[in-house]
Structure 1
């Protein structure tokens, strides 16, 4: 009996201990499960990078008042120089003409023409040969708030400069040898040249303003993008018969959409670069012109006047009108519908052409 009790007690102890081990094992398993099921760290979705803003290629530039092309702000604010060029055969080709943003041509005495370049950025150490002033060129230079550069002048030009209060650099003044120099290998009077260094030094000595007048509005309006004219008038070649002596012509370069200039039967080149002059725009401004005296000096009605003309670009021409008020320094061109003319960005050639010789303007 006693042995049975001990046996029973042993059985109970074994059972209890076995249950405890199972419980302990179960808890351990649960603990293990709890540990292995610990939630993983939260993964934040990667945001796609936002596109960086497109860099503006013209961020530090503005449109030139002369060409409509983008230039630095410092360049765009500078007053231009209006430089007179000799334009007879013996003085050709001239130096520095390709640097002019706008090139004017008009008759002077004897049927020859003279050129005037409007320069936003003169660069060369040889620009010319430079020749004397004419009063209608003085008036045109004033349209651009320009510093007028010339070597010599007529009495009419002197009077016009005084009337309009023109800042000029003259080869016959006290700073003549500062602004200009002579090339001894060329016969006078065709051997006077100026340079960027001379222009800047003369301007500084005379204390001329170097920035545009705050009231200056600009001379042209420009298209936002290159624009073809809707006109039916095709111009692959333009001939301007100023006189029996001077008949420059232009041919259209369709690939580059510009007009190439010729004179005296050959390509008109810049002697500095050896490259032919080319223009995006051509304007023909028809004016009333006549002899002012017995010496054959010319004058023209452009002080407070209006007239007709042509605008040529991208292989086509259209009729335009123009109106000038010298007192306000404004010269404006208009389309046939009366709106102010817009032109393509680029260099411009302007012919001041007698309106009683329109048969000398030939389109081909």
Structure 2
């Protein structure tokens, strides 16, 4: 019998049993096909999602609250003393100058400690007198009030101030009554002054800040516009070179001295060899002491009168913060303020606070250590 081998074919007839290898590869093919379907389906879904997905808007910017800049506080300073004051209105507050006596029988005076600026000079016969200026300062009692001289008027004129006095020399009265000044002479305004009963005339004329304010208001003298001294903050020197000051004006009862007080950075004043006291407020201690050398001579007007050249230029020494500085003083006209310059011509500011300016003749002088 002859057996013939069936020819190889690439298929299996229906119903016939597939070979083992075919069944194994067929299962793998099915698995791979299923995985392919899943991958295709997943890719399709992902593609559709990506296509149909709306872009996510960027996050809204954070609501950043910008800090509101705080306004820089405005500071106002008195043109008289350089000290800080409450508001702008205070800088134009009316200034009043009062002539106060300094003979020994007039001491202790009232109102000196609270003054903003004090001018000291010889009035007659070597006896000194003060032109005392107030702006924010309001002492309850001021005096004894005495007469005025022309050089005090020259100093006061630069402050646009009212001038309180009891008469004066003929030349001074002709000047102060010429219509260019705020004259509040006691002679014509007696109800705003009074005579005390504890002192003898003519050393007993007094007034008050309240009375002077009322007198100024009645005449419309409610503001003062002027240029004060150049000012600076007061800073005590670490190496003070002027702790004892001696000022020779005329004679022992009127010569003055100062002791530097490091605790307060001021100068405790003495006159006639004793502490200079305010009757109500005690020790007088200016922040700044200026000693100006000014030519002086005796002239005959309505009698023998002192003549001091307040307008001009000369030597001066400024004592402040425990130090002494030699400078030049210059006053160009009645209404212009005194300027102080160093050897290079630079302006020298004065510390804020009470300023005491003394005029000494060429025969006088000042020393310190």
**Is 1:176 aligned with 2:190?**
yes
| Aligned with residue 252 of structure 1, among 248, 255, 260 | 260
Q: Secondary structure at the match of 1:298?
A: strand
Corresponding position of 1:220: 229
Q: Secondary structure at the match of 1:200?
A: helix
Aligned pair count reads: 308
Deviation sequence 1:328-361 (CA, Å, 0-9, x none): 4332221221012211111111001112323xx1
Deviation sequence 1:217-265 (CA, Å, 0-9, x none): x121112x334679x9821111112122311111001122111111132
- What is the rounded CA distance, in whole Å, between the counterparts of 2:76 and 2:292 in structure 1? 28
Corresponding position of 2:367: 362
**Is 1:139 aligned with 2:172?**
no
Q: Secondary structure at the match of 1:184?
A: coil
Deviation sequence 1:93-124 (CA, Å, 0-9, x none): 11111111111110111111001111012423
Corresponding position of 1:301: 309
- What is the rounded CA distance, in whole Å, between the counterparts of 2:344 and 2:277 in structure 1? 37
Deviates more, 1:260-269 or 1:289-298: 289-298
- What is the rounded CA distance, in whole Å, between the counterparts of 1:226 and 1:153 in structure 2? 37
Alignment of 1:1-364 (within 5 A): 53=70, 56=73, 59=74, 61-72=75-86, 73-163=88-178, 165-173=180-188, 175-177=189-191, 179-205=192-218, 207-213=219-225, 216=226, 218-223=227-232, 225-227=233-235, 234-244=241-251, 245-273=253-281, 275-293=282-300, 295-303=303-311, 305-358=312-365, 361-364=366-369
**Structure 1 gap segments, 5+ residues each:** 1-41
Deviates more, 1:331-340 or 1:78-87: 331-340
Deviation sequence 1:171-222 (CA, Å, 0-9, x none): 111x222x201112221111110112211222233x2332123xx3x12111
**Structure 2 gap segments, 5+ residues each:** 1-58
With over 3 angstroms needed to count, the CA separation of the structure-2 counterparts of 1:50 and 1:127, relative to structure 1, is same
Deviation sequence 1:146-187 (CA, Å, 0-9, x none): 1111012110111221457111111111x222x201112221
- What is the rounded CA distance, in whole Å, between the counterparts of 1:344 and 1:196 in structure 2? 25
| C-alpha displacement of 1:78 | 1.2
CA contact (8 A) 2:167 2:173 kept: no
Q: Secondary structure at the match of 2:94?
A: coil
Query: Which structure is higher in helix share?
Result: 1
- What is the rounded CA distance, in whole Å, between the counterparts of 2:137 and 2:62 in structure 1? 59
- What is the rounded CA distance, in whole Å, between the counterparts of 1:283 and 1:140 in structure 2? 14
Structure number, greater radius of gyration: 2
Structure 1 vs Structure 2 CA RMSD: 2.6
**TM-score when scaled to structure 2?**
0.76
Deviation sequence 1:44-71 (CA, Å, 0-9, x none): 9998995984984xx4x40111121111
With over 3 angstroms needed to count, the CA separation of the structure-2 counterparts of 1:121 and 1:351, relative to structure 1, is same
With over 3 angstroms needed to count, the CA separation of the structure-2 counterparts of 1:122 and 1:318, relative to structure 1, is closer
Q: Secondary structure at the match of 1:259?
A: strand
With over 3 angstroms needed to count, the CA separation of the structure-2 counterparts of 1:348 and 1:53, relative to structure 1, is same
CA contact (8 A) 1:169 1:176 kept: no
- What is the rounded CA distance, in whole Å, between the counterparts of 2:134 and 2:299 in structure 1? 29
CA contact (8 A) 2:157 2:335 kept: no
